[in-house]
Amino acid sequence: MLDSPAVQKIKAEIGIIGGSGLYDFPGLQSPRDVRVRTPFGSPSAPYRVGMLEGRCVAFLARHGIGHRVQPSEINVRANIHGFRQLGVTRVISASAVGSMREEIEPLHLLVPDQLIDRTVSRPMSFFGSGIVAHVSLADPFCSVLREALIQAGHKAGARVHARGTYLCIEGPQFSTRAESDLYRSWGVEVIGMTNFPEARLAREAELCYSTLALVTDYDCWRETEDAVSVDAVLSNLKRNADTAVRVIKQTVRALPAERSCGCSRALATALITQPPFPAAAKRRLGLLIRPYDKPSRAATPARRRRPARAAGARR
């Protein structure tokens, strides 16, 4: 297993986050486990770095090895920062979800285009304590990465829903029936426990981020179905996992080398604190703010002009 500072020599391109039921990624060539230290603590597990479809990818088990980390305990800041340290620019999230719509059936896939956050206890930003940033989350998923996932799903022969709203709840409990009915009245398509704050932090880290939502159940709103259970979820996850792997492989193969979206410059118009930044904040956030850590001309004091020398004055 590689450890820091050997991490600095690794240049992965695409990150893959495996959710419930996807704890490893089959087909990686020359895989090696890489442990990353971050200013925000330890990621959920070592990253498994290897070649996939001719590109270097880094896979991370969101819930840790053996699924030991529940949603509220995931150190998302460390997970996302670790991807940046490895050189990743795009992150694909595979997430188990419950369906809130009759037509979105278990074993279907959905690529959401919107998010609603109902979490209550998770760190939501890298920033603070000296540097303030307000990134735009109007469209929380990368449009280019979303489209690549949708097209890959069709090519894999999966039933793919090309848009929808993902509602993220705190968990770890599933919803009550009253909550499930309320969420349906909001018009959401799927419900899960992990995509916030991942999407927020990926945007702050200027990473492209999109979700492949794997539908496992109908939550508990559908009276003709049994209430959602772990057994039912795991049974469908195993059946969905092979499809998810095929879709992600196709996506990795199809993504263009260069990014054409705005994700890579998300902080350019988000940083409200003027440089120079506080030293402690720079140590914590240096990887993210380095391109913007330059005093503006307005903040740079003008040089005093020397008075003109009188004729014949001594040098």
pLDDT attached to residue 309? 45
For residue 199, the surrounding DSSP H or E stretch is helix 195-204
pLDDT, residue 234, reads 72
Neighbouring-strand partners of residue 270: none
pLDDT tier for residue 303 given thresholds of 50, 70 and 90: very low
Supply the pLDDT for residue 300.
39
Which pLDDT band, with edges at 50, 70 and 90, does 201 fall under? Answer: very high
Beta-sheet pairing, 47-52 with 29-34:
antiparallel
For residue 116 the two structure tokens come to 């609603």
Annotated domain spans of the chain: 6-265
Sign of the C-alpha dihedral computed for residues 98, 99, 104 and 106 taken in this order: positive
Q: Is the pLDDT confidence value at 307 over 70?
A: no
13 pLDDT more than 90:
yes
- For 6-265, give the CATH class: alpha beta
User: Using CA atoms, how far apart are residues 135 and 132, in angstroms rounded to an integer?
Assistant: 10
Q: Tell me which residue has tokens 């499930």.
A: 180
Provide the residue type at 248 as one letter: I
pTM of the model: 0.90
Q: Which of 219, 226, 231, 293 is catalytic?
A: 219
Neighbours of 100 (CB within 10 A): 26
Does the pLDDT of residue 73 top 60, yes or no? Answer: yes
- Angle between the 76-85 and 279-289 helix axes, to the nearest 10 degrees? 60
The amino acid present at 57, given as its one-letter code, is V
Q: Helices then strands (H, E): number in the chain?
A: 6, 11
pLDDT range class, residue 294, cuts 50, 70, 90: confident
pLDDT exceeds 50 at position 215: yes
Residue 190 confidence (pLDDT) above 70: yes
Question: Quick one: the chain helix, strand, coil %, rounded to 5?
Answer: 30, 20, 50
pLDDT of residue 297 exceeding 50, the answer is no
Exposure pattern of 271-289 as b/e (b: 16+ CB <10 Å)?
A: beeeeebeeebbebbeebb
The encoded tokens of residue 126 equal: 């890298």
Compute CA distances 200 → 125, 194, 246, 285, whole Å.
Answer: 7, 11, 27, 16
Region 105-129 average pLDDT:
96
| pLDDT at 311 exceeding the cut of 90 | no
The pLDDT assigned to 312 comes to: 42
pLDDT tens string 84-95:
999 999 999 999
Do the strands 165-169 and 114-118 form a parallel or antiparallel pair, or are they unpaired? Answer: parallel
Query: How does the average pLDDT of the chain come out, rounded?
Result: 90
Q: With pLDDT > 70 as the criterion, what percentage of the chain qualifies? A: 89
- According to the model, what pLDDT value does residue 223 have? 78
Average pLDDT over residues 249-278: 95
DSSP-derived pairing of the beta strands 90-99 and 190-192:
antiparallel
Contact 97, 213 (CB under 8 A): yes
Nearest to 122 by CA among 194, 222, 225: 194
219 among known catalytic residues: yes
pLDDT given at position 3: 64
Q: How confident is the model at residue 146 (pLDDT cuts 50, 70, 90)?
A: very high
CB 10 within 8 A of CB 46: no
Task: Check 3, 33, 117, 217 and give the catalytic one.
Answer: 217
User: What one-letter code names the amino acid at 14?
Assistant: I
CA distance 106 to 236: 7
Lowest mean pLDDT across 3-7, 35-39, 161-165, 253-257: 3-7
Bigger pLDDT: 1 vs 105: 105
Q: Is the pLDDT of residue 231 over 80?
A: no
The rounded distance, in Å, linking the Cα atoms of 191 and 176 is 13
